[in-house]
A and B are shown apart, each in its own frame.
Chain A
Amino acid sequence: MFKVIENQLLAPHLHRLVIEAPRIASARQAGQFVIVRSGDGGERIPLTIGDANRSRGSITLFIQAIGAGTRKIAETEPGSYIQDIAGPWGQPTHLEKWGRVACVGGGVGTAVLFPLVRALHEAGNQVTSVIGGRSRDFIILEEELARFSAKVVVATEDGSYGRQGFVTLELAEMLEDPLRCPDAVFAVGPVPMMKAVCEQTRPAGIPTIVSLNPIMIDGTGMCGGCRVQIGGQAKFACVDGPEFDGHLVDFASLIDRLSMYKDHECRLVS
């Protein structure tokens, strides 16, 4: 049982949970995730470890409540318990001193991005964070990112905050400007966004890392359900990833496999 210490609503349906999990807090590294199950009969939901406090023995999760599983977890009140949290899963972020790094986040991807920004900053990189969302309400973690970024650029689709448009717009300008052109790009968000970013950086061959979110069950490499195609090879995102070289990712296959259960109700034989 894992005690929830804080639960804060950051944006519509986006919760920040601080949870007591001392072993995971001391073992985790940036880029890793946990698998959470709210209680008996619950799904196993993969969630990035947004942050951790070793001395307090706590981890921070950013949860976008989009379905039954995430909603149940996000509803847990401070002082109550979550039944199962296992991890840390996945490979830690490959950290290097690249120089100028652009970290591009869309929607809840911004939360997954946060630990990377922090780790990249601590590894001596100059980070520009470019974050986007539908409207002002969906922009999250701006202040937190500012602590570890040389600059934070906000883009909203409706123009209600920051510049209007997609995050790719800002990135395009950075790529054209020799003084701002990044040496490496990290992109986390909806698959179409990550795909677009990879296409932007491909011509110049700028190293681009993406964090993939296929459907998972165990997280131990036991089932193969989370397989993704990287450079023509099958990789298990839960143990080999979730971060991969974006230029090698078969995004079409990822999008396709993510849709497997979208209409599964209608495929059930009655």
Chain B
Amino acid sequence: MNNSLSAKQRMAIPRAEMPTIDPKVRCGNFDEVNLGLSMVQAVKEARRCLQCKGRDCVAGCPVQVSIPEFLNALAAGDLPRAAQILLNDSALPAICGRVCPQETQCEALCVRAKKGEAVAVGHLERFVADWAMAHPEQVGMEKAKFSSSKKVAIIGCGPAGLTAAGELARWGPEVTIFEALHETGGVLRYGIPEFRLPKAIIDAEVARLKELGVIIECNVIIGRTLSLEQLREQFDAVFIGNGAGLPVMLNMAGENLKGVYSANEYLTRVNLMGAGRDPSSPTPIIRGRQVAVIGAGNTAMDCVRTARRLGAERAMIVYRRSEAEMPARQEEIEHAKEEGIELVTLTQPLSIRGNEQNWVAGLHCQVMTLGDADESGRRRPTPVAGETFELAADVVINALGTRPNPLLTATQPDLLLDEWGNICADENCVTSLPGVFAGGDIVRGGATVILAMGDGKKAAKAIDRYLWGLDQPSAMASR
């Protein structure tokens, strides 16, 4: 294939459009909404890349994926090479290509975004990663060498833990992941719904890790089943990637009415336990006709779109700012709107109303307006005096966010935490305990998949150096 195009020719190619399932059809199932680019579309899209010397896009990616390089290989139709470059930089590109907020990361800095549309880096990353998963023999993945007798324990099987395990296993130490739930994947499994991230991708990654010799032990809670101290005795190093699994409660009247869920509970019932999705699942879920989701992040969008798929006639996002300030990924907001999700903006719920049987009946809401920008740079919502209204709902879902779960950290008083309860770790994921490393949401608070993976990768490097005595036992011990 011919990849020697002029800049002008490249500029003339319009951005590829991701084919999706028809919104009417997809509201009735949990199939992945994005169908993926075709080979022809992908190569054409890759040719839109100007191969800039400045590599601006790379600076926007938290793990510095070699974007122009893999796009160049793809533009030339050389998929094995594109895959090798990509897999060398990112542990789980099939996942990042799907869930990264590209519009604020790599694609935000793409020079083509200045005059028109950015190169669709995310879609192309997904394309190459999916191809690599379907053609493992052409990519030539490394097998574990098991050259060392060192042992590393990893706490939590989310993206941070999975990435750290994958990196380490390739270099030699014996790696064991301990996971509290009965399933792998962390938020990727119990939080993000199938229609955005098919679970087969996590299964494939877990299978690959097992092939590399990684041992995965589910149903083991560190801090309960085994203590962190026990792990420190039995392993040469420990990585903590136990996430931020603790819901922030609404703390408003009516929170205990029947039909009020935290996002974590709602999504766990549906995603992990199959409630409402798999007819054979014994786990129940209340399917509302009018579902109000409080919040406007990815989690809120996942809940409201799930509610729609469970049959809600009205599925609503209730948010105190306007659509422009919504923290969810652009694509999620667009898809939600296509699916008929209502955005009830500039609305602050004050309390949840119930009926005589203590079932949710609706939200009592305050009308808001946007004032001046606050510290975060977003315009501050302020109440419009005297303007309140009632919003009918029979299910209310709280998607206000999560905080670090203290289950493990509370058992280890000498592990340094910040004021919010996150583990303090330096840029190499080194904590205040010698031989103990941490990364992902437990360090950053609720962040992103790619940042958790980036931490897993950095931690693996730091652990490797630590195991061979190349670094101080703990850079933070002296703080």
Q: Select from chain B the residue with minimum beta-carbon distance to A85.
A: B219
Cβ-defined contact, B264 with A27, below 8 A: no
**What residues of chain B lie closer than 8 Å to A268, measured between beta carbons?**
287
Of A84, A220, A261, A269, the most chain B CB neighbours within 10 A belong to A220
A253-270 contact mask (Cβ, 8 Å, vs B): 1 or 0: 100110111001001110
**What residues of chain B lie closer than 8 Å to A42, measured between beta carbons?**
282
Q: How far is the CB of A84 from chain B (nearest CB, A)?
A: 4
Within 8 A of A (CB), among B162-202: 180-182
Assuming the contacts A85-B219, A224-B249, asked whether A43 and B282 have C-beta atoms less than 8 A apart, the reply is yes
Cβ-defined contact, A43 with B283, below 8 A: yes
**What residues of chain A lie closer than 8 Å to B220, measured between beta carbons?**
23, 86
Cβ-defined contact, B405 with A222, below 8 A: yes
Complex: A112 Cα to B218 Cα, angstroms? 26
Complex: A24 Cα to B219 Cα, angstroms? 10
Cβ-defined contact, B284 with A84, below 8 A: no
A179 at the interface (CB under 8 A from B): no
B412 at the interface (CB under 8 A from A): no
Assuming the contacts A84-B219, A223-B262, A224-B265, asked whether A89 and B273 have C-beta atoms less than 8 A apart, the reply is no
Q: How far is the CB of A233 from chain B (nearest CB, A)?
A: 10
Cβ-defined contact, A84 with B218, below 8 A: yes
**Among candidates B224, B269, B281, B407, residue contacting A88 with C-beta atoms closer than 8 Å:** B224
* Number of residues from A at the complex interface, CB < 8 A: 39
Within 8 A of B (CB), among A161-210: none
Q: How far is the CB of A254 from chain B (nearest CB, A)?
A: 9
Q: How far is the CB of A45 from chain B (nearest CB, A)?
A: 10
Cβ-defined contact, A43 with B358, below 8 A: no
Q: How far is the CB of A152 from chain B (nearest CB, A)?
A: 32
Q: How far is the CB of B395 from chain A (nearest CB, A)?
A: 10
Assuming the contacts A84-B182, A86-B180, asked whether A223 and B225 have C-beta atoms less than 8 A apart, the reply is no
Complex: A68 Cα to B280 Cα, angstroms? 12
**Among candidates A87, A217, A259, A264, residue contacting B265 with C-beta atoms closer than 8 Å:** A217
Cβ-defined contact, A86 with B182, below 8 A: yes
**What residues of chain A lie closer than 8 Å to B246, measured between beta carbons?**
221-222
Cβ-defined contact, B407 with A239, below 8 A: yes
A214-257 contact mask (Cβ, 8 Å, vs B): 1 or 0: 00011011111101010000100001000000000000010011
**What residues of chain B lie closer than 8 Å to A224, measured between beta carbons?**
247, 249, 262, 264-265
Complex: A68 Cα to B284 Cα, angstroms? 12
**Among candidates B180, B256, B262, B405, residue contacting A257 with C-beta atoms closer than 8 Å:** B256
Cβ-defined contact, A220 with B219, below 8 A: no
Q: How far is the CB of B290 from chain A (nearest CB, A)?
A: 11
Cβ-defined contact, A86 with B221, below 8 A: yes
Assuming the contacts A27-B225, A221-B245, A223-B247, asked whether A257 and B258 have C-beta atoms less than 8 A apart, the reply is yes
A69 at the interface (CB under 8 A from B): yes
**What residues of chain B lie closer than 8 Å to A88, measured between beta carbons?**
224-225
Cβ-defined contact, A41 with B264, below 8 A: no
**What residues of chain B lie closer than 8 Å to A23, measured between beta carbons?**
220, 225-226
Within 8 A of A (CB), among B389-433: 405-407
Complex: A85 Cα to B180 Cα, angstroms? 10
Q: How far is the CB of B354 from chain A (nearest CB, A)?
A: 10
**What residues of chain A lie closer than 8 Å to B310, measured between beta carbons?**
269
A83 at the interface (CB under 8 A from B): yes
**Among candidates A87, A222, A259, A261, residue contacting B224 with C-beta atoms closer than 8 Å:** A87
A44 at the interface (CB under 8 A from B): yes
Of A24, A88, A223, the most chain B CB neighbours within 10 A belong to A223
Q: How far is the CB of A71 from chain B (nearest CB, A)?
A: 11
**What residues of chain B lie closer than 8 Å to A221, measured between beta carbons?**
245-246, 405-407
Assuming the contacts A86-B182, A221-B407, asked whether A69 and B282 have C-beta atoms less than 8 A apart, the reply is yes
B353-375 contact mask (Cβ, 8 Å, vs A): 1 or 0: 00000100000000000000000
A100 at the interface (CB under 8 A from B): no
Complex: A242 Cα to B247 Cα, angstroms? 19
B286 at the interface (CB under 8 A from A): yes
Complex: A61 Cα to B459 Cα, angstroms? 40
**What residues of chain B lie closer than 8 Å to A218, measured between beta carbons?**
180-181, 268
**Among candidates A37, A264, A269, residue contacting B289 with C-beta atoms closer than 8 Å:** A269
* Number of residues from B at the complex interface, CB < 8 A: 44
Within 8 A of A (CB), among B89-107: none
**Among candidates B226, B249, B265, B311, residue contacting A225 with C-beta atoms closer than 8 Å:** B265
Complex: A103 Cα to B360 Cα, angstroms? 37
**Among candidates A43, A69, A220, A257, residue contacting B407 with C-beta atoms closer than 8 Å:** A220
Complex: A218 Cα to B255 Cα, angstroms? 20
Complex: A44 Cα to B265 Cα, angstroms? 13
Cβ-defined contact, B268 with A89, below 8 A: no
Cβ-defined contact, A222 with B287, below 8 A: no
**What residues of chain B lie closer than 8 Å to A222, measured between beta carbons?**
245-247, 264, 268, 405
Within 8 A of A (CB), among B227-249: 227, 245-247, 249
Complex: A27 Cα to B229 Cα, angstroms? 13
A56-87 contact mask (Cβ, 8 Å, vs B): 1 or 0: 00000000000011000000000000011111
B274 at the interface (CB under 8 A from A): yes
Complex: A217 Cα to B261 Cα, angstroms? 12
Cβ-defined contact, B225 with A24, below 8 A: yes
**What residues of chain A lie closer than 8 Å to B284, measured between beta carbons?**
261, 264
Assuming the contacts A41-B281, A221-B407, A268-B287, asked whether A256 and B219 have C-beta atoms less than 8 A apart, the reply is no
Assuming the contacts A41-B282, A84-B219, asked whether A227 and B405 have C-beta atoms less than 8 A apart, the reply is no
Complex: A39 Cα to B382 Cα, angstroms? 51
Interface residues, chain B, CB within 8 Å of chain A?
Answer: 180-182, 218-221, 224-227, 245-247, 249, 251, 255-256, 258-259, 261-262, 264-265, 268-269, 273-274, 278, 280-287, 289, 310-311, 358, 405-407
With contacts A27-B224, A86-B182, A220-B181 known, what are 13 further pairs, Cβ within 8 A? A41-B278, A42-B282, A69-B282, A87-B225, A222-B245, A222-B405, A224-B265, A227-B256, A234-B256, A253-B256, A257-B256, A261-B286, A264-B285
Interface residues, chain A, CB within 8 Å of chain B?
Answer: 23-24, 27, 37, 41-44, 68-69, 83-89, 217-218, 220-225, 227, 229, 234, 239, 253, 256-257, 259-261, 264, 267-269
User: Could you give 18 example pairs across A and B, Cβ below 8 Å?
Assistant: A41-B278, A41-B281, A44-B182, A84-B219, A88-B224, A217-B273, A220-B407, A221-B405, A222-B268, A222-B405, A223-B262, A223-B264, A223-B265, A227-B249, A260-B286, A264-B286, A267-B286, A267-B287
